[in-house]
Amino acid sequence: MNDYYADLGVARDADPEEIKRAYRRAARRLHPDVNPGPQAEEQFKKLSQAYDVLSDPDKKQAYDMGADPYAAGAAGFGQGFSFSDIMDAFFGGQTTSAGRGPRSRTTRGQDALVRLDIDLGDAVFGAEKDLTIDTAVTCGTCHGNGMQPGTSTRTCDVCGGRGEIQQIQRSFLGQVMTTRPCMTCSGFGQLITHPCYECSGDGRVRTRRTLTLKVPAGVDTGTRIQLTGEGEVGHGAGPRGDLYVEVAVNRHTVFQRRGDDLHATIEVPMTAAALGATLVMETFDGPRDLDIRRGTQSGDTITLRGLGVTHLRGTGRGDIVVHTMVQTPTRLDADQEDLLRRLAVARGEERPEARIGVPGEGSLFGKLRDAFKAR
């Protein structure tokens, strides 16, 4: 009987983690893909068999007791039994569970997520942006098969190309057959004897590429745009995953976005607020006249219809809402102060009475009160 502990290079009291680490170290050194040759191949077979026994508690127990770990009846139900295995045992004990066969080397690529920073104007009207991404593409040397040009795969000697190993065990329910992926070929059934030097047998290489993205009008921070088939290519030249672009809208110096409306604050001189005026305001659609009516107060709003952000789903656009803030002069020369005093006398305001805490219907306090009532 083989000395599996010596083949794996561990002590007889090694725990499962030590056994697993020892196998991984030796497998990287002796795997036929890395170390071709009949001697290394034979050593790798012995290594795989040793790990198969010592990593299974039932087989290990049978082996330690001097029994054949692969003999029928050496173990009962242990690790590796599936629901179908148990059902086979109940229905006569002679049927075997159907294996899945060798795994495919071709798999779908992973999805990717990137962030795109845009300006507010791009969100208002939409834009086209160039995206530069690092991703996996099909290897140009082996065209995705992972082999050096002119070479081919070899059928795994351990599983015979099935990609799995079947084992028969006896229990009180009868004979049960279990199926496990072959560790020698990793379940593929075929071994790559000469891996591609460009991609190391993966069939993919990483590269940087640029694509043009059409950003729809109306996007906001957090909006995700899906680009089907623009993600990473899969193993074995498998289909690409999808690319998701998450939008982040930069803060604007003038406008603050609330939904699809744009809000701004404009400072109005006291005289213009009292007498009325027409000011010019720059918008994303160009300059627009802003009519300041007579008697404008701080907190009053002026709405420019249809000049906000385009609705992402639907037609039309939001509005621009301008909040007014009346400027009170802080520095007056003698003539200006004299004029204001004469104005106060003319309006009977030379001795004004404060109305703090007594909001009027038309005052700023009243508007705040009404706003809170409305909520």
Q: Classify strands 204-215 and 127-138 as parallel, antiparallel or unpaired.
A: antiparallel
pLDDT score, position 88? 44
Give the model's confidence band at 366: pLDDT under 50 very low, under 70 low, under 90 confident, else very high: low
pLDDT in tens, 276-299: 999 999 999 999 999 999 999 999
**Residue 76 · residue 171 · CB < 8 Å:** yes
Greater confidence (156 vs 32) lies with 156
pLDDT score, position 173? 56
pLDDT in tens, 113-150: 999 999 999 999 999 999 999 999 999 999 999 999 99
Q: What is the DSSP string of 280-307?
A: EEEETTEEEEEEE-TT--TT-EEEETT-
Nearest to 175 by CA among 73, 29, 49: 73
Nearest-angstrom CA–CA distance, 256 and 363: 26
Greater confidence (150 vs 81) lies with 150
* Residue 161 CB-half CA count within 13 A: 3
pLDDT in tens, 330-340: 888 999 889 98
Q: Which range (2-16, 30-44, 113-127, 332-346) has the least confidence?
A: 30-44
pLDDT in tens, 92-117: 333 344 456 788 888 999 999 999 99
Q: Longest C-alpha distance within the chain, in Å?
A: 119
Q: Which range (41-50, 83-92, 218-227) has the least confidence?
A: 83-92
Question: How buried is residue 283: exposed, middle or buried, by Cβ count under 10 Å (0-12/13-18/19+)?
Answer: middle
What is the number of residues in the chain?
A: 375
Nearest-angstrom CA–CA distance, 351 and 15: 94
Greater confidence (358 vs 318) lies with 318
**pTM (predicted TM-score):** 0.61
pLDDT score, position 35? 66
Q: What percent of the chain has pLDDT over 70?
A: 81
Q: What 3-state class would DSSP assign to 107?
A: coil
Greater confidence (208 vs 372) lies with 208
Average pLDDT rounded to a whole number, residues 264-271? 94
Q: Dig out the tokens for 144 from the structure.
A: 């995705």
Nearest to 219 by CA among 309, 321, 319: 309
Greater confidence (15 vs 142) lies with 142
pLDDT score, position 44? 77
Q: Which range (10-24, 193-207, 210-224, 227-241) has the least confidence?
A: 10-24
- Does residue 313 register a pLDDT over 80? yes
The CA–CA distances, whole Å, from 346 to 276, 349, 350 equal 20, 8, 9
Q: What percent of the chain has pLDDT over 90?
A: 49
Greater confidence (352 vs 20) lies with 20
- Does residue 26 register a pLDDT over 60? yes
Give the model's confidence band at 170: pLDDT under 50 very low, under 70 low, under 90 confident, else very high: low
Nearest-angstrom CA–CA distance, 249 and 340: 46
Domains and CATH numbers, the chain: 1-75 (1.10.287.110), 102-249 (2.10.230.10), 252-328 (2.60.260.20), 331-375 (no CATH)
- Does residue 369 register a pLDDT over 60? no
pLDDT score, position 32? 62
**Residue 238 · residue 106 · CB < 8 Å:** yes
Nearest-angstrom CA–CA distance, 285 and 281: 10
Nearest to 217 by CA among 321, 320, 119: 119
pLDDT score, position 18? 87
- Does residue 91 register a pLDDT over 50? no
Amino acid at 32: P
pLDDT score, position 133? 92
pLDDT in tens, 43-71: 878 888 888 888 888 788 777 777 667 65
Greater confidence (168 vs 328) lies with 328
Give the model's confidence band at 223: pLDDT under 50 very low, under 70 low, under 90 confident, else very high: very high
Average pLDDT rounded to a whole number, residues 160-184? 78
